Structure 1
Amino acid sequence: MQLYLTAGFILLIVIWGVLAPETMAAQFDMLLAAITRNFGWLYLWLVLGLVLFALFLAFSRYGDLKLGGEDETPEFSTRSWFSMLFAAGMGIGLVFWGVAEPISHFNVAPPPGIRPGTPEAANAAMRHALFHWGVHPWAVYSIVALAIAFFLYRRDGRSLISTVTDALPWHWPKRLGGLFNALAVIATAFGVAASLGMGALQINSGLTSVFGLPNTQVSQVAIIVIATALFITSAVSGVDKGVRLLSNANMILAALLALAVFLLGPTIVIVDTLTNTVGTYLSEFVRMSLRMTPFRDTNWVGGWTIFYWAWWVSWSPFVGLFIARVSRGRTVREFIIGTVAAPSLAAFLWFSIFGGTALYLEVWQHVPLSEAVKADVSTALFQMFEALPGGAAMSAVATLLVLVFFVTSGDSAVLVLSMMSTGGNPEPAARVKVIWGVLIAGIALSLLLAGGLKAVQTATIVFALPFTVVIVLMAWSLWLAVRHDWDEEQRRERELKRRLRQMAGQ
């Protein structure tokens, strides 16, 4: 029943976007303005709180608890595990925004008092790019994933969001479990569609740069249809075959592309950019985390930070369930370090290489990347490649990289949505996977037709808001469960020591 209700609701949105795109875009714009104005503070406090909670769990005594039995070992190698969670969590976004975001911030400097187009603006641009793609988003993913994995492997729960609230002392969260699962499905569907929409835009730009394919909505629709067929096929083949193999291949492609830019670009400038940006990121950490503009007429925070936080929230049930699915046998400490520290470092390296190169070309070589971003953000990466040796080859690799990220994000989402909509079944039927694959593609298509990237961003924020309440409940339930299980383990250990002393005394 839940499958049909949630799928039916999503289908109505898809039909609305196809039949009346301007009306839907107008309504989403109105909702976006209200949410940004009234609930921006909620996103900032929630995400910072999850960062602090993740750090506490990782470095406290509770970090020794294992996700599963004491003798269990991880199902996947560390490399495959990291590849899968990274590809599912951020793949397309990093490629899409690696150049475009620092250049965008350079033209409209985030902090007040900094003049756009100056060296200070370049430093602020890099700092905020790392802020938006570093510790904060991965902390959101980590806590949601840890809560699911904890109840799944230590309490024999199901692969459902509602299972995570079992430790709460109140009855009403359990009664609303079906609603929580439905919100997770809707947030996941629209969050994934947002990235797939951006992926289609960038694949189109890459094919235009390499092969001269027209950059039109017709081309983007064709790209989504073809990529959907690929990720449905991958999803039906299962995690061990499709998702794992594609994720490993994509990490190798991404590493080779980053290495090429590092060596062919301004290598020393990239190293200096990483060093300087990490330092300012750490020193401005709290200020950026809680920055609002109550006395300034600006939409920057809402259009960037709050949008990103809503994006990570909308992706958290999907990425959380997927990471939980592949993380059995790891300790809480290993899990948090693997899902927060490691991918944050990878994001820092990526933005330092691509963003640092782009800013160097803009400032010192006068390559018009700012104009490219203003005209179409999806073309910025390929404009940068044209200014580097071997640019055509790198454009081809980047296009392939986005396509494979498209497929890995899609097949992971199909698996998770199928699990959530069939009562937590870890092996949902192929028919259900096909239904969700088609629906995700339909959402991406309808949102693109309703206004392109702006409609995709707006819908993401709108459908993420209700899930913030669910995340708070999940974090509180996780805290209660962790404390309970730690106390139980200590009690059993004390009881074992007491019995050993008794036996020794006899």
Structure 2
Amino acid sequence: MNKVTPVFWISLAISAVFVLWGTISPSNLQAVSGEIQGFLTDKFGWFYLLTVAIFLIFSIYLVVSPFGKLKLGQPNEKPEYKTITWFAMLFSAGMGIGLVFWGSAEPLAHYATPPTGDAETAEAAKKALRYAFFHWGFHVWAIYTVIALAIGYFKFRRKAPGVISATFEPLLGEKATKGALGTAIDVIAVFATIFGVATSLGLGATQIAGGLAFITPIENNKLTQFVIIAVVTVLFMISAWSGLSKGIKYLSNTNIVLAIGLIAMTLILGPTVFIMNTFTSTLGSYVQNLPMMTFQMAPLSTDQNEWIQGWTVFYWAWFISWSPFVGTFIARVSKGRTIREFIMGVLLGPSIFSAFWFAVFGGTSLKQELSGQNTGLTDLSTEQALFGTFETMPMGIILTIVAILLISTFFITSADSATFVLGMQTTNGSLNPPNVVKLSWGVIQAATAAVLLGAGGLGALQTAAIVSAFPFAFILLFMCWSLLIALNQDAKEAKIKK
């Protein structure tokens, strides 16, 4: 424990108080956090939308600017991981459980309750998939891009510690980043990470329980979800103990194999032509409507405004709270890549794969609803929508089993990666944080997910994400400014023309 910083002890104390609060008085926790969430979404929904739009614009600017030639590392360094392994690791960390959880559920939810227009129509189905593409596309990965790029650039190019506060040195100076202000920045990052990851772990536990309820007599209740969290906690701690190049690397590759297997089986066994036509047309519609969806708050329509707050604002907040973990992890595995290569890989590849994922699973679910083959899907709980879709398909039981396995491996990988990242952030950026530190954060993550589920289920998970993301959004904005200062300085030294 001689490597830990004050960030570890402060963050651990705050987390312990929260877990204790949720254990002793879950109803009070839910009430207080709910009030904060309502205030933030009502008064600052516009802030989340503008912030994420800035991240996307900033990422595109760096791709086309001369800064794109600079490397996350020294000029002669090569990438540490092969491209396919790199993609598997960043994708597993960045999406994972969320994609599987919402793959069918989100399009069905938008189909039943669209932002505008009549529900359960062909037009509602088109909008449903377009918004699913939007919520899991370029904007999400732009959030991850800016934080991962900043951490990776300062860590590997400038040899700074791999912590969030180190990226602020050009803006604030060395004394501030290594003092109380730097500690505060890192504590906020750790706090956001814990709640962002806990949200995903809670989603994973509820969906595994939902899948088991479909194929076994096991009931989908809080007890089942708590048992799942406990079992998976043991598994990801074993993986965390084995280290980055073993546990996480092998699990990430397993995730990709299972994900490709599941998507291929669903594509072949489902309405293949409909899926491909839907993917193509929705991709075009998504790109065409991107500016409108990016800035749409609908102030003159109460229903649409509430819809945007409940979906888009929640997602942007969730991904912002998830970003310290994803950004640190992606930075750690991206050494040696140019800024242009890094942004193109992080921004485009996963976004297109995510769009195809929703076209396959969301398209299959919507086709079943529209054709009358399976009209009860919109009545199922969110965590059971995917399994309800599989129920009427050939080899449905096999698809369900593969999906449960995929959720489980994503669950383990996300938690495993998060323990590594939290370990880095609380040991001054150590690339090999002590196992006792990683295991401490593993316990905190699992306890936080369990407390949130006990305090209010999915609603409590969403609330935690929105609340924890608000202060960190400001940190990300200033991080972009600091990175731009550093890039200008290093471009001059490298004699790169603007």
TM range (shorter): over 0.9
Other-structure match for 1:115: 118
Output the CA distance in 1 between the equivalents of 2:17 and 2:244.
30
State the Cα distance separating 1:168 from its structure 2 match: 1.0
Evaluate the alpha carbon distance shift between residue 389 and residue 434 of structure 1 in structure 2; reply closer, same or farther with a 3 A threshold. Answer: same
Output the CA distance in 2 between the equivalents of 1:170 and 1:48.
28
State the Cα distance separating 1:368 from its structure 2 match: 2.8
Equivalent AA in structure 2 for residue 434 of structure 1: L
State the Cα distance separating 1:363 from its structure 2 match: 0.7
Output the CA distance in 2 between the equivalents of 1:253 and 1:129.
22
The yes-or-no answer on 1:65 pairing with 2:73 is: no
Other-structure match for 2:293: 288
Equivalent AA in structure 2 for residue 433 of structure 1: K
Output the CA distance in 2 between the equivalents of 1:317 and 1:381.
29
The answer (yes or no) to whether the contact 1:165–1:474 under 8 Å persists in 2 is: yes
Other-structure match for 1:29: 34
Other-structure match for 1:334: 341
Which of 126, 130, 153 does residue 127 from structure 1 map onto? Answer: 130
Other-structure match for 1:136: 139
Output the CA distance in 2 between the equivalents of 1:462 and 1:395.
34
SS of 2:324 mapped into structure 1 = helix
Equivalent AA in structure 1 for residue 37 of structure 2: L
Output the CA distance in 2 between the equivalents of 1:338 and 1:77.
13
Which of 381, 404, 422 does residue 409 from structure 2 map onto? Answer: 404
Output the CA distance in 2 between the equivalents of 1:331 and 1:442.
39
The answer (yes or no) to whether the contact 1:127–1:277 under 8 Å persists in 2 is: yes
Output the CA distance in 1 between the equivalents of 2:206 and 2:143.
26
Q: Unaligned stretches of 5+ in structure 1?
A: 494-506
Output the CA distance in 2 between the equivalents of 1:79 and 1:16.
43
Other-structure match for 1:181: 186
Output the CA distance in 2 between the equivalents of 1:119 and 1:237.
50
Q: Which moved more, 1:8-17 or 1:326-335?
A: 8-17
Output the CA distance in 2 between the equivalents of 1:410 and 1:25.
24
State the Cα distance separating 1:172 from its structure 2 match: 8.9
Query: Once the two structures are superposed, what CA deviation does each residue of 1:194-219 show, in whole Å capped at 9, x if it has no partner?
Result: 00000000011111112221111111
Equivalent AA in structure 2 for residue 224 of structure 1: I
State the Cα distance separating 1:15 from its structure 2 match: 1.3
Other-structure match for 2:150: 147
Query: Once the two structures are superposed, what CA deviation does each residue of 1:433-487 show, in whole Å capped at 9, x if it has no partner?
Result: 1110000000000000001011010011001100011001110011111121111
Evaluate the alpha carbon distance shift between residue 80 and residue 19 of structure 1 in structure 2; reply closer, same or farther with a 3 A threshold. Answer: same
The answer (yes or no) to whether the contact 1:369–1:380 under 8 Å persists in 2 is: no
Evaluate the alpha carbon distance shift between residue 173 and residue 360 of structure 1 in structure 2; reply closer, same or farther with a 3 A threshold. Answer: farther
The answer (yes or no) to whether the contact 1:372–1:379 under 8 Å persists in 2 is: no
Output the CA distance in 2 between the equivalents of 1:89 and 1:231.
17
Equivalent AA in structure 2 for residue 419 of structure 1: M
Which of 214, 227, 230 does residue 219 from structure 2 map onto? Answer: 214
The yes-or-no answer on 1:51 pairing with 2:56 is: yes
SS of 1:367 mapped into structure 2 = coil
Output the CA distance in 2 between the equivalents of 1:93 and 1:172.
39
Equivalent AA in structure 2 for residue 343 of structure 1: P
Other-structure match for 2:450: 445
> Between the two proteins, what is the percent identity of the paired residues?
44
Q: Which moved more, 1:442-451 or 1:420-429?
A: 420-429
Equivalent AA in structure 2 for residue 126 of structure 1: L
Query: Once the two structures are superposed, what CA deviation does each residue of 1:231-262 show, in whole Å capped at 9, x if it has no partner?
Result: 11111111100001000011010001000010
Output the CA distance in 2 between the equivalents of 1:409 and 1:339.
17
Other-structure match for 2:359: 352
The yes-or-no answer on 1:456 pairing with 2:461 is: yes
The answer (yes or no) to whether the contact 2:377–2:389 under 8 Å persists in 1 is: no
* TM, length-normalised to structure 1: 0.95
Query: Once the two structures are superposed, what CA deviation does each residue of 1:85-137 show, in whole Å capped at 9, x if it has no partner?
Result: 11011100000000000000001111x3x111111111000000000000000
Output the CA distance in 1 between the equivalents of 2:244 and 2:85.
11
* TM, length-normalised to structure 2: 0.96
Output the CA distance in 2 between the equivalents of 1:173 and 1:22.
39
Which of 305, 310, 315 does residue 308 from structure 1 map onto? Answer: 315
Greater gyration radius? 1
Output the CA distance in 1 between the equivalents of 2:379 and 2:414.
27
Equivalent AA in structure 2 for residue 450 of structure 1: A
The answer (yes or no) to whether the contact 1:358–1:369 under 8 Å persists in 2 is: no
The yes-or-no answer on 1:367 pairing with 2:374 is: yes
State the Cα distance separating 1:369 from its structure 2 match: 4.2
SS of 1:490 mapped into structure 2 = coil
The answer (yes or no) to whether the contact 1:107–1:370 under 8 Å persists in 2 is: no
Which of 376, 379, 386 does residue 381 from structure 1 map onto? Answer: 386
Other-structure match for 1:98: 103
Output the CA distance in 2 between the equivalents of 1:172 and 1:195.
36
Output the CA distance in 2 between the equivalents of 1:64 and 1:369.
53
The answer (yes or no) to whether the contact 2:49–2:295 under 8 Å persists in 1 is: yes
SS of 2:432 mapped into structure 1 = coil
The yes-or-no answer on 1:194 pairing with 2:199 is: yes
State the Cα distance separating 1:170 from its structure 2 match: 6.2
Q: Which moved more, 1:169-178 or 1:394-403?
A: 169-178
Q: Unaligned stretches of 5+ in structure 2?
A: 1-5
The yes-or-no answer on 1:164 pairing with 2:167 is: yes
Evaluate the alpha carbon distance shift between residue 371 and residue 124 of structure 1 in structure 2; reply closer, same or farther with a 3 A threshold. Answer: closer
Output the CA distance in 1 between the equivalents of 2:359 and 2:485.
39
Output the CA distance in 2 between the equivalents of 1:468 and 1:216.
34
The yes-or-no answer on 1:484 pairing with 2:493 is: no
Equivalent AA in structure 2 for residue 346 of structure 1: F
Output the CA distance in 1 between the equivalents of 2:350 and 2:62.
18
Query: Once the two structures are superposed, what CA deviation does each residue of 1:73-93 show, in whole Å capped at 9, x if it has no partner?
Result: 111111111101110111000
State the Cα distance separating 1:2 from its structure 2 match: 2.0
The answer (yes or no) to whether the contact 1:194–1:444 under 8 Å persists in 2 is: yes
Output the CA distance in 1 between the equivalents of 2:432 and 2:296.
43
Output the CA distance in 2 between the equivalents of 1:369 and 1:307.
26
Evaluate the alpha carbon distance shift between residue 428 and residue 270 of structure 1 in structure 2; reply closer, same or farther with a 3 A threshold. Answer: same
What do you get for the CA RMSD once the two structures are aligned? 1.3
Evaluate the alpha carbon distance shift between residue 334 and residue 277 of structure 1 in structure 2; reply closer, same or farther with a 3 A threshold. Answer: same
Output the CA distance in 1 between the equivalents of 2:334 and 2:468.
27
Query: Once the two structures are superposed, what CA deviation does each residue of 1:291-328 show, in whole Å capped at 9, x if it has no partner?
Result: 11222223211110000000110011110100011110
Output the CA distance in 2 between the equivalents of 1:382 and 1:346.
21
Size of the aligned set, in residue pairs, is 488
Output the CA distance in 1 between the equivalents of 2:81 and 2:173.
36
Q: Which moved more, 1:261-270 or 1:56-65?
A: 56-65
State the Cα distance separating 1:173 from its structure 2 match: 5.7
SS of 2:456 mapped into structure 1 = coil
Equivalent AA in structure 2 for residue 101 of structure 1: E
Other-structure match for 1:243: 248
